[in-house]
Amino acid sequence: MKLNEYMAKTFPNLELRPALFYSWDIGIRFELGVNYDSDNVYYNCPYLIGVYHRAITLFNALHLLNDDLYVVVDVDDFADNVAFEKKLNVFSKFVKQKSKLLTLQQITLPYEDGYYKTHRFYLKCKAADIKYIQMIKAICNQDMGMKPRIFHRVYFINTRTNTIFHIYDDRGCDVIAAKPKTIEHVYKGYNDWILDYDRAEIEKVFNRE
Radius of gyration for the alpha carbons in the chain, expressed in angstroms and rounded: 17
Residue ranges in the chain modelled with pLDDT below 50: 83-85, 209
What CA–CA distance (Å, rounded) separates 122 from 105? Answer: 5
Predicted model pTM: 0.93
pLDDT score for 108: 86
pLDDT score for 209: 46
pLDDT score for 126: 97
Paired strand residues for 164: 157, 176
Secondary structure string (H, E, C) spanning 53-93: HHHHHHHHHHCCCCCEEEEEEEEEECCCCCCHHHHHHHHHC
pLDDT score for 85: 47
Domain boundaries, the chain: 3-206
pLDDT score for 39: 82
Start-to-end CA distance of the chain, whole Å, equals 35
Q: What Cα–Cα distance (Å) separates residue 153 from each residue in 62, 65, 71, 133, 179?
A: 19, 22, 11, 16, 24
